[in-house]
Amino acid sequence: MAKKVLIVSRRLVRKNKLINWFSEIYATILCAQNCIPVIVPIAEQTITMLPEYLSDYDGLLMVEGGDVNPQYYNSTYDSPEEFDPIKDQIETACFTDAFKANKPILGFCRGLHIINTMLGGTLHHDVHEFNHGTVLHIDHDHYDEHRHRISILPDTPLYSWYKQNTIQVNSYHHQGIKDISPLLKPMALSDDNLVEAVFCPSKKFVVGLQFHPERMLPEYEGNQLVFSSFINAL
């Protein structure tokens, strides 16, 4: 039986109406390994349907998106973009269910931020305020080409996938981990000491990455191993 992986979509206004979307690369990668991406749409009505989604799935993939509402880590700030309370509500409910059931969870960027804040950690509202621009974590002029170095900590799943002390990763974020959850261990740091990868040692597979291996697949064999390790754990 093919395994089922929940992915909460993103939404935006296109041609005057709200649409739900997600990057096709996740479907391509999952389907190539005989997994079915089950898209959980962001809509008010989805909240009442959540028990149905959560009654039959094998793992949770949380992908990029807007800022997590800071109320989830007891903070406030004026965001230039609007928070999406329905997405927050749906995604945090999926996370809580998967975490309790010890189902594999893989999160990128916003997904990492959900993992950390739901487990008691906090976020920098703006990483470039925290690091004074010493490391650039988003480069709008060289969006997909931009890389910065991270140092991978030994004896972590990340090290077992990349087998290198340092790698060059893409970076598309303006938020980042401030206080890491006591349930998580760091797996990589950028040169400004931002935690760029975490895992939860007490669970079968809970991994969050600040970078996007799916958007630099040919650059390291480890990028594919992130996904195959998640899928093997399903």
Active site residues per annotation: 109, 212, 214
Contacts 24+ apart (CB under 8 A), 138-141: 138/171, 138/172, 138/173, 138/174, 139/171
Residue 111 beta carbon to Mn ion: minimum distance, rounded to whole angstroms: 14
Residue 33 beta carbon to Mn ion: minimum distance, rounded to whole angstroms: 27
Indicate whether 116 belongs to the interface with Mn ion (CB under 5 A). Answer: no
Cα gap 175→195, rounded to integer Å: 11
Count of residues that interact with Mn ion, criterion CB under 5 A: 2
User: Cβ-closest residue to Mn ion?
Assistant: 171
Pick 104 or 111: Cβ nearer Mn ion: 111
- Written as six digits, the tokens of 34 are 């005989």
Residue 18 beta carbon to Mn ion: minimum distance, rounded to whole angstroms: 30
Residues 6+ apart with CB under 8 A from 224: 213, 217
Pick 97 or 196: Cβ nearer Mn ion: 196
Pick 72 or 130: Cβ nearer Mn ion: 130
**One-letter amino acid for residue 213 of the chain:** P
Residue 97 beta carbon to Mn ion: minimum distance, rounded to whole angstroms: 29
Q: Which window, 4-12, 49-57, 79-87, 129-137, contacts Mn ion (CB under 5 A)?
A: 129-137
Indicate whether 137 belongs to the interface with Mn ion (CB under 5 A). Answer: yes
Pick 156 or 171: Cβ nearer Mn ion: 171
Site for Mn ion, residues 138 to 177, rule: CB under 5 A: 171
Are the C-beta atoms of 175 and 113 separated by less than 8 Å?
yes
Distances from the Cα of 208 to the Cα of 51, 133, 212, angstroms: 25, 24, 10
Residues at the site binding Mn ion, with contacts judged by CB under 5 A: 137, 171
